A and B are shown apart, each in its own frame.
Chain A
């Protein structure tokens, strides 16, 4: 039924309109204080309402924390050798300084060590190890820093002894290895190859995507 026809019927249906008018007149009247009661209810609800809801913020912070833990990449010693080297460089002078201090303070002990070599092995953990230069293997002794070496030379001129540094101790942990130039070159080559392969893979994926979109 169209709206025009219904409009005409609205005017024509006298009996229905009269009946509705009578019904409306008999409806219960709105209490005079109903609006006041409503305003009071609004006021009490406003007082009860908490000022600020905190739980969504707490939940968001927790989610962000979990996401950070999840998304932070693990530390890779091979891909980031620079910080390790820096740490080693920072750590080395400290130990050497300590060795020098010990050497200055305990010169008589070093002299004793010259006589009895096995005794130094016993006190390995507490005191710096001292060995005659002839007994040390060549590749272990090479990496002593210059400045502490001079200081050591001053202190050990009389006894002709050389104090072992951290570098002289045989490397047992893989992360303490220093890469040789050949190894470094190989690592770079492998990284380059991996990068090229990744680029090729990306290209293939994009080609496939283009083909799929073209087919659609």
Chain B
């Protein structure tokens, strides 16, 4: 943890408006992106974004620097707020649910070929497939591939275990492949 982080946390604990502005400037964009990719509309993301930071400023006393970085801790709050919002609003969104376990039958080589070999057409198909994933799975994939977070950090954000995240990632990869195959067919 850098000195500026320590000063920022100290300022937030003292409820200093200057420190709050600094935190918003430093982490605001990432939090908004995280919330926006989980929620259906930008207006919803704005509402949840505000709730996230209100919670961050109020509960900064509970933050433990030994457990996670400030960024990860804020991501954890943002993830929980977005999930809670989705649960309460009960938005009618249809996701792909692999109840019969067909995705699990796909071989690793098949999955690696689909996701690995650079192909612009496949990229578009993957983008379409990502829209059929449930928000929590999509969030995990984004955190792992785009934000390049470690399994431990993702586990802290989602409130689960690193092994659970690993198995979820593996399952989600196969699920994306399955959706792509369904879209192609």
26 pairs, A vs B, C-beta closer than 8 Å: A3-B150, A9-B112, A10-B145, A10-B148, A12-B116, A14-B117, A14-B118, A15-B115, A15-B118, A15-B123, A16-B145, A16-B176, A17-B145, A22-B123, A23-B127, A23-B130, A24-B146, A27-B33, A28-B42, A34-B46, A35-B28, A38-B50, A39-B17, A39-B20, A41-B50, A42-B20
Task: Tell me the complex Cα distance, A113–B49, Å.
Answer: 101
| In the complex, chain B residues 16-58 whose Cβ is within 8 Å of any chain A Cβ | 17, 20-21, 24-25, 28-29, 32-33, 36-37, 42, 45-46, 49-50, 53-54, 57
Q: Provide the residues of chain B in CB contact with A38, threshold 8 Å.
A: 24, 49-50, 53-54
Task: Tell me the complex Cα distance, A3–B42, Å.
Answer: 34
Q: How many residues of B contact A (CB 8 A)?
A: 47
Task: Tell me the complex Cα distance, A18–B115, Å.
Answer: 10
Known: A9-B173, A30-B32. A42 touches B130 (CB 8 A): no
- B28 pairs with A20, CB closer than 8 A: no
Q: Answer whether residue B142 sits at the interface, using C-beta atoms and an 8 A cutoff.
A: yes
Known: A14-B118, A38-B24, A42-B20. A20 touches B142 (CB 8 A): yes
Interface SS of A by simple majority: helix
- List the 9 shortest-distance A-B pairs measured between CB atoms, nearest first: A19-B126, A28-B42, A30-B32, A13-B115, A20-B146, A35-B24, A19-B127, A1-B170, A16-B115
Q: Provide the residues of chain B in CB contact with A31, threshold 8 Å.
A: 46
Q: Provide the residues of chain A in CB contact with B173, threshold 8 Å.
A: 9, 13, 16
